[in-house]
Amino acid sequence: MKKADTTKKAVIISQEKRKGFTKKIGNTTYDVSFHYSRQSRESMNDKIIRLIENDMQGMKNN
């Protein structure tokens, strides 16, 4: 199997396992998908809090 074939197969498998949802706000539709590592030591809640805190820190620095 060629490398390109392997990469394409990996992308298809990855897309099949992907979780997500669609949210419409006004005239804009957001298609949100996510994945996580089973080896992660951080819960989804911890990850979201960390992302919000990092975003807020970035706003302070600007």
Please, what is the Cα angle at 37 between 32 and 43, to 5 degrees? 80
Give pLDDT tens digits along the chain (62 positions). 454 555 555 555 555 555 778 888 899 988 887 777 778 888 888 888 999 899 988 888 87
The reported pLDDT for the residue numbered 53 is: 92
The reported pLDDT for the residue numbered 25 is: 87
Residue of 42, 24, 40 whose CA lies nearest to 32: 24
